[in-house]
């Protein structure tokens, strides 16, 4: 049984293959948290609540409400009644009072998993998962809250979200509605998160959890370059292969809060949801608010197991694209090759040389529309600039197709340039606060996608472009954060809904694009990787990882990204040297090997490559075809991190049946007087025999003693080793 409800003991147990999650009803009223962790067979765990122990202060009265609420483990804590730890829900009623108190009403268990209206979410069949709904009510407000838990037994994953309904007579305001809360018993934890900046996204950061609150957050209107909607609590000894990990990841692309808090009683509360900063939602009688989903993963086998659990879950139950399990066309993008300085002739020259080397798709990046020759105009004017693309888009695409290549195009539908026909026609379409100047960023404003006419108006223009030629791929970009949050169409007491309504508008547009163009390969992007998150993966099977294409900078970016997300989703390209972001010069081979851990493509002026480099492109194309099935579908193991050791980086992809693997090794810095390194492999079958670099090994030898990696002269050297089972 995936979900067991003991009505007498008022205990719910949710089981996955290796984990158990326990909930108990306290005093017939409160929904309390019992347990989350390694699988428990014994259902008799109510004692974990310590119901007979009083808090020491301010009273020994066991059920004095304030003291009780501030230390009881809660499933969904609220503001205003005595729990002073961070709450998950805060309601202000029509009279201005801020409080709510949820009492348990009942439950329902169903096979499968209902969708979340308007939101990305994981999905599964009746065989894959079961859902527990716990119903609670606040009588004073007439508010019904449904806590949703879906249990994916085989995947070892539990997902959570929340529905808030107004069944009363007066409207009320939701000022905070997080999606998941986990109250854990005292344990020493470290906080592990992803932190970065533009061109330095998702670097892994780990620190001790002290008393008080530590959080990662965004209120930029996007999941952001800087902090990431992911949080893991790990025991201090946790490595890739050992130790405990509690992880939460948010299936949402806008503002978020991910927080851990250690209380006076050493209990730890972990929370995730939409950031309350700038958020208020007016709920009219009869209306319902759906909070986005949080994915929970527990691992007692270190970070590596957590990673592989997320990868499999997202590949099996989140990404919907028909391209997920397919080799994507190797693309060449003209951005770093030409920036805005191109015409159809230049693009065709690139396409011609690229096609001769086996590259399969040309992507025309920013600068093909309106009068855009720099990043200072025309967003919103989605028609082809025929001074640049002489003969029009269709002719260009047909000529590219004659070379045997597909064609892709860049768009940035969420934006509007102050210097655009669209803005001159519809100045009110920009997000703005009347009377204040609108903040410009990259000389652009953001469209008010909370309005249906704006979503429809822009979508129609984009769709017309895609219909006008045989377009196989779209790169959907989003190049600035949100500011001066105001919508011309929302009443005063609904302006706090704009951030979330904006995200709903983005999701609606992408959903429509996929419905209208089911064969389209969509790649999301946001100034590099500011929206590389589980929400966007529901719409696109790949996301541009970072504007930094330097092979060495990419090691930490791709390590952090692959901590959670399948490598088949990581947009990665080979670019020229000196690298445009850091000026570093790395071998062409290394750039290719690092980009293989992703969707793979090129982002350079191929017409300017030397004959030697062109020969290397051919070899890389061959490697891609040879290894992409394995890389896309296999299990990812992290062997070493340059971030930690300062010298080398290494990872492996192992075929699910362990018959084949690919080892990646990058010697970032050469060392004088160095010996070869014995690198211990992971994921292989200890009993089977394998062949690697023409030598035979027993699997166990490779796991325990390692494979020999010679020290090389020179920095930034990479090595790719295929390991095959000997039949």
Q: Indicate which residue of 477, 533, 548, 649 is catalytic.
A: 477
Catalytic annotation present for 128: no
> Which residues have a Cβ under 8 Å from the Cβ of 13 and sit 6 or more positions away?
3, 4, 6, 20, 21, 22, 40, 43
Minimum gap (Å) between residue 188 Cβ and ligand GLA: 40
The Cα–Cα gap between 89 and 31 comes to: 14
- Binding-site residue positions for substrate: 198, 365-366, 442, 475-479, 525, 547
Among 196, 304, 413, 528, binds ligand GLA (CB under 6 A): 528
**Residue 721: alpha-carbon gap to chain centroid:** 29
The Cα–Cα gap between 14 and 2 comes to: 6
Instruction: Return the CA Rg of the chain.
Output: 27
> Which residues have a Cβ under 8 Å from the Cβ of 8 and sit 6 or more positions away?
none
Helix axes of 393-402 and 344-356: crossing angle, nearest 10 degrees: 20
The Cα–Cα gap between 569 and 599 comes to: 7
To the nearest 10°, the Cα dihedral for 32, 273, 533, 212? -80
- 208 φ/ψ angles, rounded to the nearest 5 degrees: -70, 145
Cβ proximity to ligand GLA: between 349 and 375 the closer is 375
Per-residue x/- marks for ligand GLA, 543-572, CB under 6 A? -x--x-------------------------
> 517, 464 in Cβ contact below 8 A?
no
> 615, 634 in Cβ contact below 8 A?
no
The Cα–Cα gap between 225 and 528 comes to: 8
Cβ proximity to ligand GLA: between 542 and 667 the closer is 542
- Residue 642 in tokens: 């340059």
Q: Which stretch binds ligand GLA (CB under 6 A): 401-409, 499-507, 523-531, 700-708?
A: 523-531
Residues in 281-340 at the binding interface with ligand GLA, rule: CB under 6 A:
335
Residue nearest to ligand GLA (CB): 366
Q: Which stretch binds ligand GLA (CB under 6 A): 156-164, 513-521, 522-530, 620-628?
A: 522-530
The Cα–Cα gap between 195 and 604 comes to: 28
Catalytic annotation present for 477: yes
Distances in whole angstroms, Cα of residue 128 to Cα of each of 151, 158, 180, 220: 8, 12, 22, 35
Residues in 343-382 at the binding interface with ligand GLA, rule: CB under 6 A:
365-366, 375
CA quadruple 84, 90, 95, 96: dihedral positive or negative? positive
CB-side neighbour CA atoms (13 Å) of 135: 11
**Beta strand 331-333 pairing with 172-184:** unpaired
Cβ proximity to ligand GLA: between 15 and 580 the closer is 580
Cβ proximity to ligand GLA: between 410 and 539 the closer is 410
Per-residue x/- marks for ligand GLA, 459-488, CB under 6 A? ------------------x-x---------
243 Rama sector, left if φ>0, alpha if ψ -120 to 50, beta otherwise: left
- 174 φ/ψ angles, rounded to the nearest 5 degrees: -85, 115
Each as own residue / partner, the long-range contacts of residues 83-87 (CB below 8 Å, 24 or more positions apart, any chain) are 85/261, 85/263, 85/269, 86/213, 86/259, 86/261, 86/269, 86/271, 87/176
Task: Return the SS3 of 462.
Answer: helix
Cβ proximity to ligand GLA: between 101 and 547 the closer is 547
| Interface with ligand GLA, residue 448, by CB under 6 A | no
Residues in 398-437 at the binding interface with ligand GLA, rule: CB under 6 A:
410
> 288, 167 in Cβ contact below 8 A?
no
With CB under 6 A as the rule, give the number of residues binding ligand GLA.
Answer: 12
> Which residues have a Cβ under 8 Å from the Cβ of 426 and sit 6 or more positions away?
454, 457
Q: Indicate which residue of 183, 448, 547, 548 is catalytic.
A: 547
Cβ proximity to ligand GLA: between 231 and 337 the closer is 337
Binding site for ligand GLA (CB under 6 A): 335, 365-366, 375, 410, 477, 479, 525, 527-528, 544, 547
- Catalytic residue numbers, as ranges: 477, 547
């Amino acid at each position: 049984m995936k979900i067991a409800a003991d009505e007498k003991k008022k205990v719910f147990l949710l089981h996955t293959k290796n984990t158990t999650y326990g909930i108990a009803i306290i005093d017939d009223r409160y929904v309390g948290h019992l347990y989350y962790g390694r699988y428990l067979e014994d259902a008799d765990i109510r004692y974990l609540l310590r119901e007979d122990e009083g808090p020491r202060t301010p009273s020994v009265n066991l059920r004095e409400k304030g003291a009780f609420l501030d230390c009881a483990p809660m499933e969904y804590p609220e503001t205003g009644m005595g729990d002073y730890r961070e709450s998950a829900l805060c309601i202000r009623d029509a009279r201005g009072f801020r409080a709510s108190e949820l009492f348990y009403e009942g439950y329902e268990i169903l096979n499968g998993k209902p969708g979340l209206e308007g939101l990305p979410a994981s999905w599964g069949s009746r065989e894959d998962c079961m859902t527990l709904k716990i119903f609670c009510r606040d009588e004073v407000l007439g508010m019904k809250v449904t806590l949703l838990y879906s249990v994916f037994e085989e995947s070892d994953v539990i997902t959570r979200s929340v529905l808030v309904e107004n069944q009363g007579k007066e409207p009320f305001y939701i000022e905070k509605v997080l999606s998941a809360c986990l109250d854990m018993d005292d344990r020493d934890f470290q906080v592990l998160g992803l932190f970065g900046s533009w061109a330095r996204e998702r670097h892994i950061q780990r620190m001790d959890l002290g008393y008080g609150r530590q959080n990662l957050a965004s209120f930029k209107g996007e999941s952001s370059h800087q902090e990431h909607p992911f949080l893991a609590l790990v025991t201090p000894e946790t490595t890739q292969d050992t130790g405990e990990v509690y992880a939460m990841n948010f299936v949402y692309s806008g503002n978020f809060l991910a927080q851990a808090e250690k209380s006076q009683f050493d209990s730890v509360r972990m929370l995730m949801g939409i950031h309350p900063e700038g958020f208020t939602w007016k709920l009219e009688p009869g209306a319902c608010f759906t909070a986005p989903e949080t994915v929970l993963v527990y691992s007692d086998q270190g970070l590596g197991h957590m990673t592989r659990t997320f990868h499999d879950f997202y590949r099996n139950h989140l990404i919907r694209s028909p391209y997920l399990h397919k080799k994507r066309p190797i693309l060449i993008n003209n951005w770093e090759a030409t920036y805005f300085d191109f015409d159809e002739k230049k693009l065709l020259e690139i396409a011609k040389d690229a096609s001769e080397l086996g590259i399969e798709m040309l992507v025309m990046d920013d600068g093909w529309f309106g009068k855009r020759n720099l990043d200072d105009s025309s967003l919103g004017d989605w028609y082809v600039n025929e001074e640049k693309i002489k003969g029009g888009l269709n002719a260009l695409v047909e000529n590219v197709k004659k070379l045997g290549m597909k064609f892709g195009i860049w768009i940035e539908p969420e934006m509007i340039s102050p210097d655009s026909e669209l803005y001159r026609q519809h100045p009110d379409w920009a997000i703005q606060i009347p009377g204040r100047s609108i903040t410009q960023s990259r000389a652009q404003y953001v469209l008010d996608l909370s309005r249906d006419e704006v979503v429809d108006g822009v979508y129609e223009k984009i769709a017309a472009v895609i219909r006008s030629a045989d377009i196989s791929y779209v790169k959907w970009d989003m190049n600035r954060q949100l500011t001066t949050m105001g919508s011309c169409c929302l009443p005063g007491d609904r302006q706090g809904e704009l951030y979330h309504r904006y995200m709903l508008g983005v999701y609606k547009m992408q959903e429509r694009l996929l419905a209208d163009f089911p064969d389209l390969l969509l790649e999301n992007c946001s100034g590099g990787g500011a929206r590389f998150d589980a929400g966007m993966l529901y719409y696109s099977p790949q996301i541009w990882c970072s504007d930094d294409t330097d092979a060495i900078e990419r090691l930490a970016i791709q390590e952090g990204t692959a901590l959670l997300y399948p490598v088949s989703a990581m947009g990665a390209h080979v670019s020229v040297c000196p690298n445009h972001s850091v000026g570093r010069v790395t071998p062409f081979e290394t750039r290719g090997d690092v980009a293989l851990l992703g969707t793979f493509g090129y982002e350079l002026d191929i017409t300017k490559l030397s004959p030697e480099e062109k020969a290397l492109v051919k070899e890389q194309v061959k490697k891609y075809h040879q290894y992409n099935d394995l890389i896309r579908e296999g299990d990812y193991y992290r062997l070493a991190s340059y971030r930690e050791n300062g010298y080398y980086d290494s990872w492996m992809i192992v075929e699910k049946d362990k018959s084949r693997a690919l080892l990646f090794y990058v010697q970032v810095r050469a060392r004088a007087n160095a010996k070869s390194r014995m690198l211990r492999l992971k994921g292989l079958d200890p009993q089977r025999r394998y062949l690697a670099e023409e030598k035979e090994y027993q699997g166990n030898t490779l796991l325990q003693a390692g494979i020999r990696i010679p020290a090389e002269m020179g920095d930034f050297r990479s090595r790719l080793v295929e390991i095959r089972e000997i039949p």
